[in-house]
């Protein structure tokens, strides 16, 4: 198992490499393979990359790189071999780590514990208690770390939480009139529409409370592999194997995964990550089902595959993408 220090140094080296001139598709493929191989890899990389960009240091470093860096090539088992291909001096990685820690400190203080991402954006936010929050596209939250409670107000969008254990200070995510409570675990919360939620638990146990204060009328515990959908009609829970649970969280690596999913739901998911929206007015087209893994920002690639596989055609009008039945020739 990789040590935390090695993961941090490797993530720092990737941040440096990606900011240099000459970054290409091979480098990107290698980076994505490394990110996809471990949640720890993604958490370390997004945290360091966010700190550098907020501090404005990444561009300066890329303009005059200290030494050419050769990115590792992706291996069949999705692991990376460092002995031959990785040539980043430990001093460079260490300096990146130190500067990033300082950058993150400035960033957290300057935002007054309020964070948001644009459409298509992704950001890792380290918290003062040692927890980390990864914000998905078009999301907003505020943070209040107190002596008795760690509170996140998820005002919009979706977030993944890696919670540092602290039995004396529960970690509470509030979304509208509902909240999700944890002590030390990994889970995501998405505001689907209004106060409707989707909660996915990757590790540990969380408690879902429907209603705040004296208005609470339903509570339930959700364990690892559990997916809960919370609405005014109540809480519906399904239990999934780990691999499928991870699919709900693949957005952390820039992908969305579908398994025989209606095209209407796929279009809605792509619309979360892109400013050009997909429109489907035909019920038969909307009901088509398909599966696969797709990059969130590669709408064009998805649409090409769709036209090749189904009797549909795609047209663009006034900045919107319409998917319609293909007319017989």
Per-residue pLDDT at 103 exceeds 90: no
Same domain, 62 and 148: no
Residues 184-202 have a mean pLDDT of 91
Same domain, 17 and 122: no
Overall domain count for the chain:
3
- For residues 119 and 103, give the distance between their C-alpha atoms in angstroms, rounded to a whole number: 24
Residues 92-116 have a mean pLDDT of 54
So what's the pLDDT on residue 1?
Answer: 58
Residues 229-239 have a mean pLDDT of 89
Same domain, 280 and 233: no
- For residues 329 and 115, give the distance between their C-alpha atoms in angstroms, rounded to a whole number: 52
Rounded to 5°, the CA angle 43-48-50 comes to: 95
So what's the pLDDT on residue 97?
Answer: 56
Torsion from C-alpha of 321, 279, 196, 185, nearest 10 degrees? -40
Of 155-159, 219-223, 299-303, give the range with the top mean pLDDT. 155-159
Same domain, 118 and 159: yes
What share of the chain has pLDDT > 90, as a percent?
A: 44
Per-residue pLDDT at 258 exceeds 60: yes
The answer to whether the CB of 36 falls within 8 A of the CB of 253 is yes
Same domain, 234 and 200: yes
Same domain, 207 and 261: no
Residues 121-130 have a mean pLDDT of 90
The phi and psi torsions of 126 (rounded to 5 degrees) equal -80, 135
So what's the pLDDT on residue 204?
Answer: 94
Q: What is the CATH number of the domain that holds 289?
A: 3.55.50.30
Same domain, 127 and 240: yes
Does residue 113 or residue 125 have the better pLDDT? 125
Q: What is the CATH number of the domain that holds 236?
A: 2.60.120.1440
So what's the pLDDT on residue 111?
Answer: 39
Which of the listed residues 225, 246, 267 is the one where a domain comes to its end? 246
So what's the pLDDT on residue 59?
Answer: 42
Torsion from C-alpha of 176, 177, 178, 181, nearest 10 degrees? 90
Same domain, 96 and 184: no
Residues 230-253 have a mean pLDDT of 88
The pTM (predicted TM-score) of the whole model is: 0.65
Same domain, 208 and 190: yes
The answer to whether the CB of 198 falls within 8 A of the CB of 190 is yes
Does residue 105 or residue 40 have the better pLDDT? 40
Instruction: Note down the domain range covering 40.
Output: 4-110
The answer to whether the CB of 219 falls within 8 A of the CB of 179 is no
Which of the listed residues 196, 211, 246 is the one where a domain comes to its end? 246
Same domain, 147 and 92: no
Same domain, 127 and 71: no
In sequence order, the β-bridge partners of residue 309 are: none
- Please give the mean pLDDT across all residues of the chain: 80
Per-residue pLDDT at 120 exceeds 50: yes
In the chain, DSSP assigns E strands to: 114-116, 123-126, 132-135, 140-145, 150-156, 158-162, 171-175, 178-182, 186-193, 196-203, 205-210, 218-223, 226-231, 234-239, 255-262, 278-279, 289-295, 312-317, 320-325
Residues 185-190 have a mean pLDDT of 96
- For residues 271 and 172, give the distance between their C-alpha atoms in angstroms, rounded to a whole number: 29
Which of the listed residues 180, 215, 246 is the one where a domain comes to its end? 246
Residue 241 confidence class, pLDDT cut points 50, 70, 90: confident
Same domain, 293 and 183: no
């Amino acid at each position: 198992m990789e040590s935390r220090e090695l993961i941090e140094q490797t993530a720092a080296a990737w941040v440096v490499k990606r900011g240099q001139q000459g970054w290409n598709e091979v480098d990107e493929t290698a980076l994505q393979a490394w990110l996809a191989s471990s949640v720890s890899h993604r958490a370390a990389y997004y945290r360091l990359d966010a700190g550098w960009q907020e501090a404005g240091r990444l561009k300066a470093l890329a303009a005059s790189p200290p030494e050419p860096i050769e990115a590792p090539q992706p291996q069949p088992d999705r692991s990376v071999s460092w002995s031959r291909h990785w040539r980043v001096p430990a001093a460079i990685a260490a300096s990146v780590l130190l500067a990033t820690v300082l950058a993150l400190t400035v960033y957290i203080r300057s935002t007054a514990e309020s964070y948001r991402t644009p459409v298509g954006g992704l950001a890792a936010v380290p918290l003062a208690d040692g927890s980390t929050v990864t914000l998905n596209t078009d999301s907003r939250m505020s943070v209040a770390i107190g002596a008795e409670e760690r509170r996140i107000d998820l005002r919009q969008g979706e977030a993944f939480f890696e919670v540092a254990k602290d039995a004396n200070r529960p970690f509470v995510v509030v979304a509208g009139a509902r909240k999700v409570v944890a002590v030390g675990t990994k889970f995501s919360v998405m505001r689907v529409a209004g106060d409707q939620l989707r909660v996915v638990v990757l590790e540990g146990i969380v408690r879902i409370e429907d209603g705040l204060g004296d208005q609470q009328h339903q509570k339930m515990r959700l364990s690892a592999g559990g997916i809960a959908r919370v609405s005014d009609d109540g809480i519906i829970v399904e239990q999934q194997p780990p691999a499928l649970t991870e699919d709900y969280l693949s957005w952390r690596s820039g992908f969305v995964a579908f398994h025989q999913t209606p095209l209407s739901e796929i279009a809605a998911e792509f619309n979360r990550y892109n400013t050009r929206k997909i429109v489907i007015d035909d019920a038969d087209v909307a009901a088509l089902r398909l599966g696969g893994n797709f990059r969130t920002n590669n709408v064009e690639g998805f649409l090409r595959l769709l036209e090749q596989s189904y009797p549909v055609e795609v047209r663009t009008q006034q900045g919107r993408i319409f998917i319609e039945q293909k007319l017989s020739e």
